[in-house]
Structure 1
Amino acid sequence: MTDVVLSVEDLNVHYGSIHAVKGISFQVKRGEIVTLIGSNGAGKSSTLNAIMNIVPKSKGKVVFNGIDITNLPTNEIVKLGLTLVPEGRKIFPNLTVYENLMMGCYARKDKNKIREDLDWVLNLFPRLKERLKQLGGTLSGGEQQMLALARGLMSRPKVLMMDEPSLGLAPLLVAEVFQVIQQIRNEGVTILLVEQNAFAALKICDYGYVLETGRITLQDKGENLIKNEDVAKAYLGIS
């Protein structure tokens, strides 16, 4: 069995005349945390959305677990075990925490396993356990982010993609989110992370890719990218 669980080849995304993603290729290996870093407009979110077929690809190929998912509908991709936690949380504000979590496993039929997974995510996120009957919209920003992550995990993904999980959170909560991401990986879930907090992302990732204006300009182990002078100046605030 190959170690590569997700392979993206020559991915291109256009929005009208704007060429947002320009022929990028990368791989995610089983059991790893892989991160895509870059400034606003670099094409990070477009890449994740194109993988999930939320936005159309103008060119390219995506293979997940040996299956070509390039043209599969999003719901079929989720059933195969690839899930996206979108930027901005996108929880259902008028549903309870419990109902939000159940929306995460709408495509599953294994009721006993769903119960086990509910226990699992509530142990990962104890604050959600205390708020199961509370409406999602009444949670704090940090709690909503935890709910978005937990809802994603309820689909029992083999690979969980996260788009800006720390966006808009206080520093203490950011640290908590990144601890949880490591814990999720330790539980056997492979992670593809898009994150503007480059330092925090590179600290926990196995491998990283730097995107600039739709192209991968640099790739290396996370620990090496942190030490790279160009990365430090551009993304880590180190001159």
Structure 2
Amino acid sequence: MLELNKINVFYGGIHALKDLSIHVNEGEVVTLIGSNGAGKTSMLKTISGIVKAKEGAIKYLDKDITGASASDIVKMGIAHVPEGRRVFANMSVMENLEMGAYIRTDKEGIKEDYEKIFERFPRLKERRTQMAGTLSGGEQQMLAMGRALMLRPKLILLDEPSMGLAPIMVDEIFSIIQDINKSGTTVLLVEQNANMALSIAHRAYVIQTGSIALEGNGCDLLNNENVKKTYLGG
């Protein structure tokens, strides 16, 4: 479904991604773990067209999207939930969800999807008229995910969805990610909570200073001694 082949990204003189190659198969949850500054967010921004690769190729559904604009990539069915949630703070919950559907014209389908979002996130239904900036961190994360799902994406990119959340909310968010995947959406997940991320992943990659250091299925990496020592506190 998605293939990154020898991607190189630079920020001025900083070489952020170095010959990075990964692939994501349709229907998978693929997790990328690594320490702060390893290049996880840069990779997601490059996929979604916010950052441009200097070298290498990105293919999505067998189409080269390396030079595509961020708006075109959204239209192709790739939704990006950024680090820090980035909800529209001065807009209501409902208005945020409407923004997620801004490229769609199927009014009945959009209406159906509002109901699906409210079924999946009952708290958002209760707060539909509330300003997004007044929600708790966990509720904002749910809203950011709900807004992305309003696109009806084939692939969803999640950047640190558990960051800054209480443990009980982390469990809920990861349960929702699994539910999204079971409903037919492919998930590429960047996450510092390596334990949780690997436990729900079909496959996973470990990134170190812009390069892939390890790859394997989620369960194998969860039990890998080096991964345990470096990322799982074991």
TM-score (norm 2): 0.99
| Partner in structure 1 of residue 212 of structure 2 | 216
Report matched runs for 1:81-160 at 5 Å.
81-160=77-156
- TM-superposed deviation, 1:45: 0.2
- TM-superposed deviation, 1:56: 1.7
- Counterpart CA distance in 1 for 2:143 and 2:25 is 26
SS in 2 for 1:88: coil
Specify the code of the residue in structure 1 equivalent to 2:163. Answer: L
| Partner in structure 1 of residue 68 of structure 2 | 72
- TM-superposed deviation, 1:90: 0.5
- TM-superposed deviation, 1:110: 1.1
- Counterpart CA distance in 2 for 1:11 and 1:111 is 39
Match of 2:58 among 50, 56, 62: 62
- TM-superposed deviation, 1:169: 0.3
Deviations 1:96-133 (A, max 9, x none): 00000000010111111111111111111110010000
Deviations 1:67-116 (A, max 9, x none): 11111111111111011000000000000000000000101111111111
2:165 matches 1:175: no
- Counterpart CA distance in 2 for 1:207 and 1:143 is 28
Gaps of 5+ in 2: none
Give the RMSD, CA atoms, in angstroms.
0.6
- Counterpart CA distance in 1 for 2:17 and 2:221 is 22
Specify the code of the residue in structure 1 equivalent to 2:213. Answer: T
- Counterpart CA distance in 2 for 1:68 and 1:113 is 29
SS in 1 for 2:46: helix
SS in 2 for 1:233: helix
Specify the code of the residue in structure 2 equivalent to 1:15. Answer: Y
| Partner in structure 2 of residue 203 of structure 1 | 199
Specify the code of the residue in structure 2 equivalent to 1:113. Answer: G
Deviations 1:132-151 (A, max 9, x none): 00000010111000000000
Deviations 1:129-177 (A, max 9, x none): 1000000001011100000000010011000000000000000000000
TM-score (norm 1): 0.97
| Partner in structure 2 of residue 236 of structure 1 | 232
Gaps of 5+ in 1: none
* Moved segments of 4+, more than 6 Å: none
Specify the code of the residue in structure 2 equivalent to 1:58. Answer: K
- Counterpart CA distance in 2 for 1:18 and 1:160 is 27
Specify the code of the residue in structure 2 equivalent to 1:19. Answer: H
- Counterpart CA distance in 2 for 1:36 and 1:120 is 28
**In the comparison of the two structures, how many residue pairs are matched?**
234
